[in-house]
Amino acid sequence: MSHLCIESQLLSKERQNVTFPIEELTNIWDGGREETMIRRRVEKLFADDPELKSPPLCTMTRDEEFTEATRKSAYIYRHFIPKHKLYPSSRESKHLTRAQPLATNLFIHMGVFVYCIKTMGSDKQVAKWLQLAKNLNIIGTYAQTELGHGSFLRGLETQATYDRTTQEFVINCPQLSSMKWWPGDLGVNANHALVMANLIIDNKKYGMHAFIVQIRDLSTHKPLPGVSVGDIGNKFGLGSTDNGFLYLKNVRIPLENLLNKNAEVKPDGTYLKKASDRLVYGSMVNLRVSIPKQCTDVLAKACTIAIRYSGVRRQGLLKPDGAEVPILDYTLQQHKLIPQLATVYATNFAGLQIQKKYEVFLQNLSNDDISDLAELHALSASFKASVSEQGTEGVEVCRRACGGHGYSQASGLPSLLARVTPACTYEGENTVLYLQTARFLMKCASKKAKDLPKSVTFLVQPTQMMNINNVTSLDFIVHCFKSRATICVQAAAKRLQQTMGQGVEINEAWNKNAVELVKAAKAYVMQFIVDGFTTFVKGLKCSKPTKKIFEDLCSLYGLHFINNNSGDFLKLGIITAHHCNLAEEAEIELLGKLRPNAVGIVDAFDFSDFSLDSCLGAYDGNVYERLFDMAKLSPLNKEQVHQASYKYLRPYLLEGRDILEGSKSKL
């Protein structure tokens, strides 16, 4: 029997040992049996379409990757989606992001430019721009960040000065640091930009507003006068996206190009505010709610790759005279990977709770009730920060857990890491988001329980230690996380008050206590995740073996965190040293229990080989043959003798030949 077959057999054996119905878990993951069927149908449409096939990502240059991405994106939006009727209103559309091949672009155009027109434009503006944008008749970007400023919005320098005589805005980047930098789809493809600029009327500043600016000629696609635009160059990853720079000098746009649903400038220069900034915040929440799901899906892929690979990779012995074992048998490998699997489940199902809160908020909004906004904003900000961080750390753990092969692009893991890590920065840099959450928490800490939303009253109530020996109990784990959040929030509030009591001005006091404040925000969101996942698991109706998997993953998620931060839980008086010992033992026991089902659990994510795009993670486990096939495709192997060796090394190699052949003839 060939060596290759053994790898496939090892994965089959893993699957025979699975103790729960994989299909049931898949259905729960998808949100129901019918959703699984719809998702599979959508994924099959993508996988079967020859227009969506590309050379493997790891064999392409940046230029080829970008060109392929643009070709496929244009095809998807103009042909594939209409052909299969996968419109945003259809049930199928929910599954598009997951089904779509990795290397595509136009995300900022379709996801943000189109969304901003819809939510920030008047009816007249929506009628003018929306369909053009959806049809790719115009391509837009969202240009907010500048070379000199990102997080601090008031520091942005681009100006839109109203000229009453011509009824135009004159857009200017006053200096190098005001140049727009980073916007996606801008560098090469966009011919319009939604530019965030300071509105100035008669020398008075009115703050940031959104303007539609045409930046390239509609026929030639060349930059218009006053516009300097291009790609910012290679990044950590995301070679398929043309993040760009944009410098605007005296570019004139008509009055109607200010997106004016929330604020308007009349022809005579009168400024009219129509909606409160709080409503504008509400629309930002929507974008933030979608990012964690993308991060969770990326971590789910990384877990699938690393766990399947660990099931077939054999290295060393557990018994001196036994057979070589798959590395998944090592407790240390389980300790790296299975908690990542628990993270995928915890963040996914806790995310559903935010989604529900968001839907309630939207319902209330239609009655002009925005009382939930502050909590939703605080929650979605810290949740985005926490899930993108856990996703980034988790993918890197998975990558390193695959040894040398995890470093190869062919594993698919480097591109997953490059995809998840920028989510820590875009749509609000994580630290800045945690600080926003802390602001809400400090307000809560200054109030009485009766004046707070029910979901956060625990933050101002006293905590008690729970005397319990069963540390895997979900009630105990939730209690630990809630107590930690309460203590951290109250401690940060107390310190802030003390600093200000010493006469320190608020911003300075805030800065002095920023570490404590961020810790409070992190503790708050961690309790939300643990509580949300636990609530989901407790309410889950399914077969006993599947329920057991959920309960074990839920306990593992909590205990792994407690064990990694035991000093903190001990210091805060939430647990004792006895609990610590029990928690460490319980975690190892849970790893052993989940180990036989690990391959089954990742199979339940149901990623196709097409979407995983990994030599290590394919369903059949035929790892080595795939790696060798991929290596053969390396552009460096195109010629038997590469020009570089010939050009730069040949003279010295010929010297070597003469020495070696000369010494041979002397023998």
Choice between 84 and 149, CB closer to ligand FAD = 149
Shortest approach of ligand FAD to residue 56 CB, angstroms? 22
* 200 sits in which H/E element: strand 192-201
Distance, in Å, from the CA atom of 642 to the CA atom of 628, rounded to the nearest integer, reads 19
Residue ranges of alpha helices (H) inside 426-504 are: 430-445, 474-501
Nearer to ligand FAD, 388 or 555 (CB): 388
Query: Is 115 near ligand FAD (CB under 6 A)?
Result: no
Which positions make up the binding site for FAD?
145, 184
CB 221, min distance to ligand FAD, A? 20
Q: Where are the alpha helices (DSSP H) in 368-473?
A: 373-400, 413-420, 430-445
Is 431 a binding residue for ligand FAD by CB under 6 A? The answer is yes
Per annotation, catalytic residue among 43, 157, 427, 516: 427
The yes or no reply on residue 290 touching ligand FAD (CB under 6 A) is no
Stretch that binds ligand FAD, among 6-14, 275-283, 426-434, 638-646 (CB under 6 A): 426-434
Q: Which of 412, 422 has the CB closer to ligand FAD? A: 422
**131 binds ligand FAD per the rule CB under 6 A:** no
Q: How far is the CB of 519 from ligand FAD (least distance, A)?
A: 14
- Check binding of 243 to ligand FAD (CB under 6 A): yes
Nearer to ligand FAD, 54 or 144 (CB): 144
Q: Is 343 in the site for ligand FAD (CB under 6 A)?
A: no
Can residue 183 be called a binding residue for ligand FAD (CB under 6 A)? yes
3-state secondary structure of 56: coil
| 144 is a contact residue toward ligand FAD (CB under 6 A) | yes
Q: Which residue is nearest to ligand FAD (CB)?
A: 150
Position 158 contacts ligand FAD (CB under 6 A): no
Q: Are 214 and 253 in contact (CB under 8 A)?
A: yes
396 is catalytic: no
Q: Which stretch binds ligand FAD (CB under 6 A): 32-40, 57-65, 136-144, 258-266?
A: 136-144
Strand 140-143 to strand 192-201: parallel, antiparallel, or no bridges (unpaired)?
parallel
Strand partners, 248: 227
In terms of Cα–Cα distance, which of 519, 526, 530 is closest to 478?
530
Over 80-94, what HEC string results?
Answer: HHHHHCCCCCCHHHH
Do 477 and 531 meet the contact criterion of CB atoms below 8 Å apart?
Answer: no
Q: Which of 17, 151, 166, 470 binds ligand FAD (CB under 6 A)?
A: 151
Beta bridge partners of 211: 195, 258
Q: Are 619 and 609 in contact (CB under 8 A)?
A: yes
* Residue 145 binds ligand FAD, judged by CB under 6 A: yes
Among 113-121, 146-154, 385-393, 543-551, the segment contacting ligand FAD (CB under 6 A): 146-154
**Residues 335-368 as b or e (16 or more Cβ within 10 Å = b):** ebbbbbbbbbbbbbbbbebbeebbeebeeeeeee
* Annotated binding-site positions: 145, 184
**Cβ atoms within 10 Å of 252's Cβ, excluding its own:** 14
Tokens of 558: 């909590």
Q: In what order do the strands lie in the sheet with 227-231?
A: 180-181, 244-248, 227-231
* Interface with ligand FAD in residues 604-633 (CB under 6 A): none
Q: Which residues are catalytic?
A: 427
Task: Enumerate binding residues for ligand FAD (CB under 6 A).
Answer: 108, 142-145, 149-151, 182-184, 238, 243, 422, 425-426, 429, 431-432, 435
